[in-house]
Amino acid sequence: MSTDHSKVEYLKPEVLKSLGNLEMIAKEIVSGQKVGAHRSNLKGFSSEFSHHRPYAPGDPIRDLDWKVYGRTEKYYTKLYEAETNFECHVLLDASSSMNYASGEVSKLEYSKYLAASICYLILNQQDTVGLSVFDSRLRAHIPPKSTMGILVEIEKSLREIESLPKDGLSKQLNDTALQLKRRSFVVLISDLLTDVDDLMNGLDHLKHDGHNVIVLQTLDPYELDFPFKGTWRFEGLETDEEVVTQPDRIRAEYLSNLEKHLEDVQKRCVGSNVDYLLLNTSHSLGTALSRFLQNRSIDRMSPTSGVSS
Amino acid sequence: MSFMSPLLLLSALGVALPILAHLLNNHKYQETSWAAMRFLNQAIKVKSREIRIRDLLLLILRCLAILLLALVISRPLTEEGSALAEFGEKRVGVIIALDASYSMLHEEASKKRFDLAKEKVEKIVANLTSGDPITFLLLGMEHRVLLRNRAYQAGSFQELLDAQEAHPEALDLDNVPRRLKELVDEMDAPQKEVYIITDAQEQDWKTGASRLQYALKDLSERAKLFMIPVLGGHENLSMTNFEFLSGVLRKGTTARYSVAVNNYGSQPALAVKVSGKINNITVDNQLIPRIGPGEAETISLFMPFQNPGPAKISAHLPDDALSIDNVRRSVAIIRNKVSILCVENKGSGSFLTSALLAREGGATEKDYSVTSIPWISFPAHDLKLYDVVVMSDVPTITDDQAKKLDQFVRNGNGLIWLPGESTKWESWNERSKLGSAFLLPAKLEGLINTGGAMGIGRPLSLDIQEHSVSNPLRSLSEDLLSEARFLKVYQVDPSPNSVTLLKLAGNAYPLLLEHSHGRGQVFMFTSLAGSEWNNMALTPLFPMLLQQMVTYLTAREFEKPRLVGSSLKLSYVEEPDVTEAVFETPSGESLTVPVHSHKDQHSAILSQAEEDGFYLAMGTLQSPPLPIAVNVDTSESMVKCLNADDFSETFKKTGVNVIFNDEELDEALIDSRRTHSLWKFFAIMVCLIMLVESLLSSRLPKAKKSPVTQKGA
C-alpha cells in the first residue's frame, strides 16, 4: 500500500485537534488511508460467514437444517445470511488517566479521533457501528447505527462525561457484552493502566460471546519513555497520591515495570485470540490506523498484536 | 601534620556548598499530573532507599573531596615515622653553593678541586625527585646564580653542571650567608637544604670565623645547612707582583721590571725559573735558587723594547698545581724617542736645562732631546713634537695656549710647571680653569715668605708621599733632605684629585703636587729653582726629582694592570665619531660597550673583566687596538685548606653539618630528609573520590537504555 506522506504528516494529532469537527477529523484520517487502497481495507471488515454448528439446547427448532439431519442423522443449526451483517462496537475508555498529556493532545483526545475514524470507516461501508464510553462504569451507550450522525453523538457523549478514576475494566466489558445482541467486532480503546487479570476477565467474556475483540492501547510518549530530568512531583490522576522524586534515577525501574506490564497484556491478548495494538499518542493517527488495518487478518479471524510506529 | 600554607585551610569552608546544593535540590521541583502511578510507585519502592543512601553517599563524597582539596592546596607535611609518612613523598628544596674561586683549580692527585666538588654536587642531586625546587650558584667575587628556584630535571642539570668552570677570581666569603639567606627565603619547599661546597681556604674561613659562625647559625635556622669541604694540599707558587721599576719605555731601551714570587707551600721551592715575555716572546729568564716555605722572593726582569707602540709584557712561572696565578701581565706604550720642551721666562741657561740633561749620555743621546725656549716664542712651537713640556716662571698664557696645553696633556703627555718672580698667579688661575677641570693640580693663592726670622728657610717635611717620583727621596738620608731650604713658596689650594708628593716641614705647605689630566699627568712645584727662592737646585734633590718626573711622564704604562672583576675604561681624547667601543676578551669574544660623555670627558667602560689575560680595546674602527692587562687577585693564591678538625671546630654549635666523605653525605641525606609531602597523596584521593562520585551520580557516559518497544506479531 502506498502512502501519501504529506497526508500522513497532516494527520498529526496536534494538527487534527485544530480542526475541531470530529466528522471532519474522521474523514481526513480515513480518506488518507484510502488513497491507493480502494478495496482492500474494507474487505477485511465484511464478515461473510454462513456455516453450521451443532445444535445446542435453546436454539430455535426452525433453524435446524433438516437436510443435513436427513444425511447424517445429526442436528445442526443453520445460520442465516440475514444474521451475518457486519456490526462494530467501539468501547472508549474516558477515565481520569486518559486525560494525561505530555504535549497538546491527551490520550483521551487521541482515542476520540481514533474512535471517530474507525466509526467513519465502518459507516462509509454501509455497516453499522455503535459506541460505549466508560470510566468507572458505563457512562454512555450509543446503539449500533449506520448514519454519520453517530459521530456527533460521540462528541456529545464525551463532552458530557466527567472523568472518574476507573477501578477495573472487567465490569465495563461485561456490561458491554451483555448489551451486545449479535456477534460483533468490539474495539476497545484504553490506556489499559489497570490490572491485567481484570482486563482479561472482561475480554474473555466478550470472546466467549463470540465477538471479535480488538484492543488498542494508547499511551503517551512520556509514559513510554519517561524522559523527565531533575526533581519532579507527580500527582496521580486516578488516585490522590503525590510522589516527589528524581525520575532519571528511577527511569530504568519504571521502564522495566512498564515493559513487564505491556508484555503481560500482549501475551495474554494473543493467548485469548484478542487483537492487540499499542499506540503512541505522539505518532500520526493515519499511521496508527494503517497499522491497525494491516494487522487485521479478518480471513483467518486470528488475533494479532503490534505497536504503532 | 603541618602545613606549608595553613591559611589556605580556610578553603575547607567550601564544604558548605555541596550541603547547600543538596538541601536546595530537595526543595526545588517541577510538577506534573501522572497516570501511570502504579509503575512509578513500584520503581520508587525499589529505589527510594537506594536513592536516599546514594544521595547521602554522594553528599559525603563531595564534602570529603572539598576537605581533601583544602588539604591539597594547604600542602600538608608529615614527619618520618608518622602513619601517613609512607603515603607521602620526600620533597626537598635544595640550594647548592659551589665555590668557584680559582683556588678550586688546584690539582689534587690529577683532579682539580672543582671537579671533585662537582662530583659532590652529583651525589647530592642523585637523590632528588624530578620537580624538586633547586637553586644552584657559583661562589666567587660575585655570586652567580645559575638556577633559581627551578624544578629539578636530571638531564638539564647535568648539562649545566658539566659546563661550569671555576672563575679566575677570589672568593667574597662575607657576602655568602646573606646571599644564601635571600635564596632560602624565596624558595618554596616543604624542607630546605643548603649545601656549601668549598675548599675551605684557611685565609678565608679562619679569619672570618666568628662573623661566619653568627651568620651561618642564622641561616641554619631557616634551612638545613651542610658544609662539604673539598680539602687538599697547599703546595703553590704564585707570582704576586710584577711592576715597572726603572728605565725608559722607549724604543731601543731596556726597562727593569720587578717580579715577586711567593711560595705558599710547606716545602722549599728550588731553582724557580721566571720568564719575561714581550708580545708572547721570551726576552729574559731569571732563576730564583730557593724560595723557602711561606717566603717571597723578588727578582728583576729586564725587558728590551725593539719596537714602538703598545707592548704586552708578562712574567711567567713554570706550571704547578695551580697555574692560573703563575703569570702576571702589564702593558706599556713604547715611544720612538723622548723630546722635552723647556719654556722659561728668560731663555736658556737656568738650572732647569742642566737638571734635565743630567743623565747618562747627556745631551748627545740621540733619542733624548731637551729644547729650551723663551716663553715669548712658545706659541710658535708645535707641541706634537714633544713628550714633556716644562714651564718655568712663565708670566701667563693666553686662552688658546691653555687649550693647546690641555689637549697636549690629555693626549697622554706630561707638563711640569714651576712659578717664578714674573708669574701672574691670578691670571694662571684663570687660564688654568678649563670648563669644569683645571690644568694645574692646585689654585695659586699668593706668595709666602718661609724664610723665617733667621732667613735660613724651611726644610722639606720627612713625610714623603709614596709615589714613583718621590720614592727615591725616601731612601735619601735625613741630613741630605734637610739641606734643602725654602725661602719662598706659593700658597696653594690643591684640587680634590691632586696628590701632594712633597711639602715643607712644620706648616705643611705643599711643594710638589701631581694630578692626572685626561691620559696625561701634570706636576706642579710651588717654588722656583733659584737662589732667591731656595737652594734646591744646589742639592741632588732637584735633578733627581726632574729625572724621575720625565721618566714617569714618558715611561708610564698606558693602563695599570687590572684585576679580574674590575672595570676596564677606554678614554677618548676628543669626542669620538662612534657611539660604541669594542672590547675583545682574552678568549676572543667581542663585547660592545656604549661610549658615555660627561663634562667633555668621553669614555667607554666595560663594567667587569671576567677573564685574566690581555683584553683589546678598540675605540674606533680605525684606531689600533690597545691592550689592557688583567691579572688574577693573588689573595686567592694561598690555597692552604683548614684541616678537618679545625673545620669541624669552626662550625661547632652553629647547627651546620660538616660532611667529609661520601658515606657521611649518604647518611646525612637520609637523616635530613624526614619531611614527607602529602599533597600528591591527597590529590590522588580527591581524584578517586571524584571518580566514584561520577560513577554514583551516573555522570559517566553509559549505554542509553532504549525506551519500551514491542515487536509486532
Helices A22-34 and A149-160 pack at an angle, to 10 degrees, of 130
Interface probe, candidates A135, A198, A219, A243, chain B, greatest B C-beta count within 10 A: A243
Interface of A with B in 144-203 (CB under 8 A): 191, 193
Question: Are A255 and B708 in contact (CB < 8 Å)?
Answer: yes
Cβ B35–A193 below 8 Å, yes or no? yes
Domains of chain A: 5-46+86-307 (3.40.50.410), 52-81 (no CATH)
Which position has the higher pLDDT, B5 or B382? B382
pLDDT over 90, % of chain B: 21
Is B659 exposed, middle or buried (CB count within 10 Å of its CB: 0-12, 13-18, 19+)?
Answer: buried
Q: A98 — contact with chain B (CB < 8 Å)?
A: yes
Contact B710 A98 (CB under 8 A): no
Lowest mean pLDDT among A176-180, B42-46, B188-192, B290-294: B42-46
Residues B579, B453 within the same domain: no
B433-469 pLDDT, tens digit each: 877 778 899 999 988 888 777 778 888 888 888 888 8
Residue of B28, B54, B710, B711 best to disrupt the A interface, most CBs of A under 10 A? B710
More confident residue, B625 or A22: B625
Q: Would you say the pTM of this structure is higher than 0.80? A: no
Share of chain B above pLDDT 70, in %: 93
Pair (B619, B673) in one structural domain:
no
Q: Work out the widest C-alpha separation in chain B, in whole angstroms.
A: 154
Residues of chain B with Cβ-Cβ distance to A270 below 8 Å are 713
Whether A241 and chain B come into contact, CB under 8 Å, resolves to yes
- Residue B427 contacts residue B534 (beta carbons within 8 Å): no
Strand order in the sheet with B2-3: B2-3, B76-79, B675-677, B89-90
| Range B13-34 average pLDDT | 82
- What are the DSSP E strand ranges found in B352-481? 368-374, 388-392, 414-418, 433-434, 437-438, 442-449, 458-459
C-alpha to C-alpha distance for B195 and B612, rounded to whole angstroms: 29
Provide long-range contacts, Cβ within 8 A and 24+ apart, for A106-110.
A106/A220, A106/A281, A107/A191, A107/A218, A107/A219, A107/A220, A107/A281, A107/B35, A108/A158, A108/A163, A109/A13, A109/A17, A110/A13, A110/A218, A110/A279, A110/A281, A110/A285
pLDDT in tens, B375-399: 888 888 888 888 899 998 888 888 8
CA distances B615 to B244, B334, B559, B602, B625, Å, are 19, 18, 11, 20, 9
The alpha carbon of residue A249 is apart from the nearest alpha carbon of chain B, in Å, by 8
Would the CA dihedral through B173, B174, B177, B178 be positive or negative? negative
CB atoms B710 and A191 under 8 Å: no
Last residue of a domain, one of B526, B555, B584: B555
- Specify the CATH number for the domain of residue B489: 3.40.50.880
Interchain CB contact of A108 with B (< 8 Å): no
- Using a CB-CB cut-off of 8 Å, the residues of chain B touching A164 are none
Strands A87-93 and A185-190: parallel
State the Cα torsion B674-B678-B681-B685 to the nearest 10°: 150
| DSSP secondary structure letters along B318-363 | ---S--TTSEEEEEEEEBS-EEEEEEETT-S-SHHHHHHH-STTGG
Distance of CA A146 to the CA centre of its chain: 19
pLDDT digits (tens, 9 = 90+) for B456-503: 888 888 888 888 888 878 878 888 888 888 888 999 999 888 999 898
Q: Are the C-beta atoms of residues B580 and B572 closer than 8 Å to each other?
A: no
In whole angstroms, how far apart are CA B178 and each of A173, B548, B706? 102, 48, 73
Q: Examine residue B438 and state whether it is found in any structural domain, yes or no.
A: yes
Of the residues B333, B363, B391, the one at which a domain ends? B333
Number of Cβ within a 10 Å radius of residue B624: 11
Does residue B412 lie in a domain region?
yes
Q: Can you give the pLDDT at residue B349?
A: 54
| Distance of residue B693 Cα from the nearest chain A Cα, in angstroms | 15
Full domain range(s) for residue B266: 237-333
Question: Chain A contacts of B42, Cβ < 8 Å?
Answer: 253-254, 257
Q: Is the pLDDT of residue B58 over 80?
A: yes
C-alpha to C-alpha distance for B417 and B352, rounded to whole angstroms: 11
> What are the Cα distances from residue A206, in Å, to A177, A216, B77, B168?
6, 15, 82, 116
Highest mean pLDDT among B14-18, B89-93, B311-315: B311-315
> Rounded distance, CA A76 to CA B113, Å?
130
Secondary structure of B525-545 as H, E, C letters: ECCCCCCCCECHHHCCHHHHH
Question: With 50 as the cut, is the pLDDT of residue B250 above it?
Answer: yes
Quick one: B50 and B107 in the same domain? no
Q: According to the model, what pLDDT value does residue B556 have?
A: 60
Are B443 and B478 in a shared domain?
yes
Q: How far, in Å, CA of B406 to CA of B417, rounded?
A: 13
Q: Is residue B196 located within the same domain as residue B218?
A: yes
| Residue A248 with chain B: CB contacts under 8 Å | 698
Chain A residues touching B702 at Cβ < 8 A? none
Report if residue B707 sits inside a domain: no
CATH number at residue B287: 2.60.40.10
> What ipTM was predicted for this assembly?
0.74
Task: Please answer yes or no on whether A306 and B710 come within 8 Å at the CB atom.
Answer: yes
User: Are the CB atoms for B465 and B501 separated by under 8 Å?
Assistant: yes
Please say if the pLDDT value at position B127 is more than 90. Answer: no
Q: The C-alpha cell of B554 is what?
A: 714618558
**Euclidean distance between the first and the last CA atom of chain A, given in angstroms as a whole number:** 16
Task: Tell me, yes or no, whether B280 lies in a domain.
Answer: yes
Give the chain A residue nearest B710 (alpha carbons).
Answer: A307
- Contact between chains at A259 and B30 (C-beta distance less than 8 A): no
Residue (of B409, B414, B416, B433) closest to B524 by Cα position: B416
Query: Are B362 and B221 within one domain?
Result: no
Quick check: B259 pLDDT over 50?
yes
**What does the angle CA B204 – CA B206 – CA B212 come to, to the nearest 5 degrees?**
80
Burial (0-12, 13-18, 19+ Cβ within 10 Å), A59: middle
Structural domain count, chain B: 5
Looking at this protein, which amino acid is placed at residue B368? Y
My answer on whether B592 and B513 are in the same domain is no
> In this structure, is residue B298 part of a structural domain?
yes
Question: In this complex, is the C-beta atom of A229 within 8 Å of any C-beta atom belonging to chain B?
Answer: no
A250 touches chain B (CB under 8 A): yes
Handedness of CA A262, A266, A269, A274 (dihedral sign): positive
A252 interfaces chain B, CB cutoff of 8 Å: yes
CA nearest neighbour of B291 among B333, B318, B324, B261: B261
Given a contact cutoff of 8 angstroms between Cβ atoms, the answer to whether B198 and B658 are in contact is no
- How close, in Å, is residue A104 to chain B by CA atoms? 14
Contacts A–B by Cβ distance under 8 A: 128
Q: Which pLDDT value is given to residue B158?
A: 93
Q: Is residue B509 part of a domain?
A: yes
Spatial neighbors of B629 by CB under 8 A, at least 6 apart, are B312, B313, B314, B329, B330, B331, B559, B561, B562, B614
In this structure, is residue B275 part of a structural domain? Answer: yes
Reduced to 3 DSSP states, what percent helix, strand and coil does chain A have, rounded to the nearest 5? 45, 20, 35
Q: Do A304 and B713 touch (CB under 8 A)?
A: yes
Nearest chain B residue (CA) to A259: B708
> Where on the phi/psi map is residue B419: left (φ > 0), alpha (ψ -120 to 50), or beta?
beta
Residues B147 and B261 in one domain: no
Contacts of A265 in chain B (CB under 8 A): none
Closest residue in B to A238 (Cα) is B35
Q: Do residue B309 and residue B376 come from a single domain?
A: no
Q: How far is CA A16 from the centre of its chain?
A: 19
Q: Has residue B467 been placed in a domain?
A: yes
B546 and B622 in one domain?
Answer: no
Q: Cβ separation of B33 and A239 shorter than 8 Å? A: no
pLDDT profile of chain A (309 residues), mean per 10: 38 57 61 41 36 76 82 79 64 89 87 84 79 83 82 77 76 83 84 89 87 90 88 84 81 90 91 88 81 54 43
Give the end of a domain, one of B306, B333, B360.
Answer: B333
pLDDT above 90 (res B534): no
Whole-angstrom CA distances from B146 to B96, B113, B137, B534, B598 are 10, 20, 5, 65, 35
The Cβ of residue B504 has, within 10 Å, a number of other Cβ atoms equal to 23
* DSSP strand pairing (A242-245 vs A232-236): antiparallel
User: In DSSP terms, which residues pair with B192 in a beta bridge?
Assistant: B93
The answer to whether the CB atoms of B37 and A253 lie below 8 A apart is no
Task: Look at A265 and B358; give whichever has higher pLDDT.
Answer: A265
Residues of B in contact with A238 (CB under 8 A): 35, 37
Nearest neighbour of A235 by CB, restricted to B31, B51, B712? B31
Q: Are residues B96 and B10 in the same domain?
A: no
**Dihedral angle at the C-alpha atoms of A254, A255, A261, A265, nearest 10 degrees?**
150
All residues at 6 or more sequence positions from B397 whose CB lies less than 8 Å from its CB, including other chains: B378, B405, B428, B431
Residue recorded with cell 707638563: B415
Residues B422-434: what's their mean pLDDT?
A: 87
> What's the CA gap between B680 and B196, in Å, rounded?
30
What length is written for chain B? 713
The helix (H) or strand (E) run that includes residue B672 is helix B662-672
Say if residue B25 is in the same domain as residue B161: no
Residues in B whose CB is inside 8 Å of some CB of A read 25-26, 28-44, 46-48, 51, 54, 698, 705, 707-713
Cβ–Cβ < 8 Å for A50, A81: yes
> Would you state the cell numbers that stand for residue B451, as one nine-digit string?
724664610
> Shortest Cα distance from B29 to chain A (angstroms)?
5
Helix (H, G, I), strand (E, B) or coil at B273: strand
Query: What letters, b where the CB count within 10 A reaches 16 and e where it falls short, cover B356-391?
Result: bbebeeeeeeeebbbebeebeebeeeebeebbbbbb
Check if the beta carbon of residue B600 is closer than 8 Å to that of residue B435: yes
> Which residues of chain B lie closer than 8 angstroms to A97, CB-CB?
35-36
Contact call for B708 and A230, based on CB within 8 A: no
List the end-to-end C-alpha distance of chain B, in Å, as a whole number: 71
For cell 542509553, what's the residue?
B704
**Cell 497516570 found at:** B35
Mean pLDDT over residues B653-661, rounded?
83
Q: For residue B39, give the nearest of A228, A261, A266 by CB distance.
A: A261
Q: What is the mean pLDDT of chain B?
A: 84
